[in-house]
A and B are shown apart, each in its own frame.
Chain A
């Protein structure tokens, strides 16, 4: 077989059904092999879009996303997408073409040292120098991407490796002595953690993206309900615990709810599950959860005691550890009691009642939060939601109630504007029967708007709801609050007419300029099943996201509505 055929066959063996990519000189041999393969290839309009699509596909399904691009600019265009996936621990396998091995290092046409460039933003990467290694490297790449703390893996494929021939043998298993993630938590530590939790009077569970990644939402729900422990999640953790559950406090951190931030500040036992104490969560680190004994469950040992000192660390797969914790409870014959922690929950309810998530309603201006609420209601919360980055992202996190994991796709760690739309396309391809909506800002959506053509080409009914305030809203908000309202470069003066833009691509374009029009536009968009729809919501221009913890402040010092 040629290297290209080996590659395609290996992908099929890995159970890959879809590849997102863009052809070019160095990967011509692979594209030729794809031509007669059963793999579906989605041709994008920009390589960054391909990576975000594969990322959205991976987040929505739990399967690894696969990308195929050419050498040089094709490869460098993937970098933002790879860094996005790396920060959020999303499994991807990115295949890049490379100039023939004899030319590497010669500044050949379309040559870039992509292995060097992506070394710090991949979990691991490979340059295949010999066709004999190709099959094993593909096997290892998928194993590394999916196991332990997931992440993107890049394979650089010189053209001669793709055209040479070799006998195909695909290993059934890989064993890598230097890569052995810990899956099972240490049983004595688990017992200590459970004892700590049982002694606590004001415990809080702080759940992160690890709950979603390890598919442990059910286990978490069971554990929290059994002990009546309130749960807050990070942005990445949304959907990992039902958003409408009475124990749910909402998101914590910079734009977290008042009650979540107060609960975490006052807790005596913080149970961090698959979360990494990011600065947007902790605020001023010295005053984060100052009274708490901290239990930290994470599969990545480097996450533990990186930002805060942890009292009881447990390294392991979140699902296995939480399951084991529940089993330990049974062993200790602990039964859930109805009135357990009633006082603590009353205190939290008090915080919640004083400052519920809210906004000033208006009859003549569309409030962006109102659009998010209506999207939630009219989709009955069943949609897969992607977001861009900024105010649109935070309002979605606050006002859309995510009840199920893998229904919220957002760039949390890197904060990549332009992520949401291609991610939504990837999710729509993975889940053709679902309603998929990208909640966007007018700034972000223009960072990957070219993928509208991709969505039209594949007749994807993906929806984009633009909360259009003609500002780079989040940056403007910071300028208003911390830079004396000097709106330096945040007012977007030239803006396309999004309705006509959609139509020019062959998509549907709708606009709502008054609150009464919002429902009509959403309903019409939901009824369109054969092409993408852009909904342009002309919203109140200077609406801010509240609560807000100013950067560097402790999280109980919030600016409120």
Chain B
């Protein structure tokens, strides 16, 4: 099963390598990993998407906690949380298709952030499904390049479940 784990770490050199080394060294897989500084410049937040059975996820969270530079580990899966991913999609656009592409962009509340003679670059934010959906719709026009951030996530403040 897929889990989204949020990890607060010391914002120091080498910490990313400790975390990624832990995953590779113990054979855990990483589907995506995002990291950036928080409001406190001494602390970074990592969002790691991984998968494994209950036993593997338990080991992952324990092993992460064991790293000296890890401040807090929170397995968001099973809680209410928001997750987002950002993608930049460069799509081939000839004159006869431009209107249709713009319509799709509009429907998904995406943005065209760069225009070239033969292409649009579309910025889209959302969860994984939304990004997959727009990618599918743009594919017929010819997608030239895609850059994705991987997922970031935060737990919801108001917990309505349970």
Contacts and interface: CB of A to CB of B under 8 A. Distances in A.
A176 B70 CA distance: 11
A119 B65 contact: no
B140 interface: no
A124 B65 CA distance: 13
Nearest to B71: A178
B62 A302 contact: yes
B28 to A, nearest CB: 12
B68 A119 contact: no
A179 B58 contact: no
B21 to A, nearest CB: 6
A301 to B, nearest CB: 5
Interface in A441-470: none
Nearest to A179: B68
A433 interface: no
B59 A306 contact: yes
A302 B13 CA distance: 25
A178 B18 contact: no
Contacts of A300: 66
Interface residues of B, number: 19
Contacts of A123: 68
Contacts of A115: 14
B21 A119 contact: yes
Interface in B41-57: 55
Given A115-B14, A120-B21, A178 B70 contact: yes
A305 interface: yes
B17 interface: yes
A127 B62 CA distance: 25
Contacts of B10: 178
B45 to A, nearest CB: 14
Contacts of A144: 68
B63 to A, nearest CB: 5
Interface string A153-190: 00000000000000000000000111100000000000
A119 B18 contact: yes
A301 B65 CA distance: 9
B25 interface: yes
B17 A302 contact: no
A306 B10 CA distance: 27
Contacts of B70: 178
A119 B21 CA distance: 8
Nearest to A148: B66
Nearest to B64: A302
Contacts of A127: 13-14
A124 B66 contact: no
B60 to A, nearest CB: 10
A339 interface: no
A116 interface: yes
A124 B21 CA distance: 13
Nearest to B66: A302
Nearest to A153: B68
Nearest to A304: B62
Most buried by A among B17, B58, B62: B62
Contacts of B125: none
B130 to A, nearest CB: 35
Nearest to B18: A119
A99 B151 CA distance: 39
Contacts of A176: 68
Contacts of B55: 305
Contact of B71 (A177, A302, A306): A177
B135 interface: no
A282 to B, nearest CB: 16
Contacts of B25: 120
B14 A119 contact: yes
Contact of A124 (B13, B59, B63, B68): B68
Interface in A95-120: 115-116, 119-120
B69 interface: yes
Contacts of B68: 123-124, 144, 176, 178-179
Contacts of B14: 115-116, 119, 127
Contact of B62 (A120, A124, A179, A301): A301
A305 B59 CA distance: 8
Nearest to A121: B25
Contacts of A302: 59, 62-63, 66
Contacts of B59: 302, 306
Interface in B1-58: 10, 13-14, 17-18, 21-22, 25, 55, 58
Nearest to A123: B68
Contacts of A306: 59
Which of A120, A123, A127, A176 has the most chain B CB within a 10 Å cutoff?
A120
A473 B155 CA distance: 58
A123 B13 CA distance: 17
A185 to B, nearest CB: 17
Contacts of B17: 116, 119
A299 to B, nearest CB: 11
A123 B66 CA distance: 9
Contacts of B69: 178
A144 B71 CA distance: 16
Interface string B61-105: 011011011110000000000000000000000000000000000
Interface of A: 115-116, 119-120, 123-124, 127, 144, 176-179, 300-302, 305-306
5 closest cross-chain pairs (CB), A and B: A302-B62, A124-B68, A178-B71, A120-B25, A301-B62
Interface of B: 10, 13-14, 17-18, 21-22, 25, 55, 58-59, 62-63, 65-66, 68-71
16 contacts: A115-B14, A116-B14, A119-B17, A119-B21, A127-B14, A144-B68, A177-B71, A178-B10, A178-B70, A179-B68, A300-B66, A301-B62, A301-B66, A302-B62, A302-B66, A306-B59
Given A115-B14, A116-B14, A127-B14, 13 more contacts: A119-B18, A119-B21, A120-B21, A120-B25, A127-B13, A144-B68, A177-B71, A178-B69, A178-B71, A300-B66, A302-B62, A302-B63, A305-B55
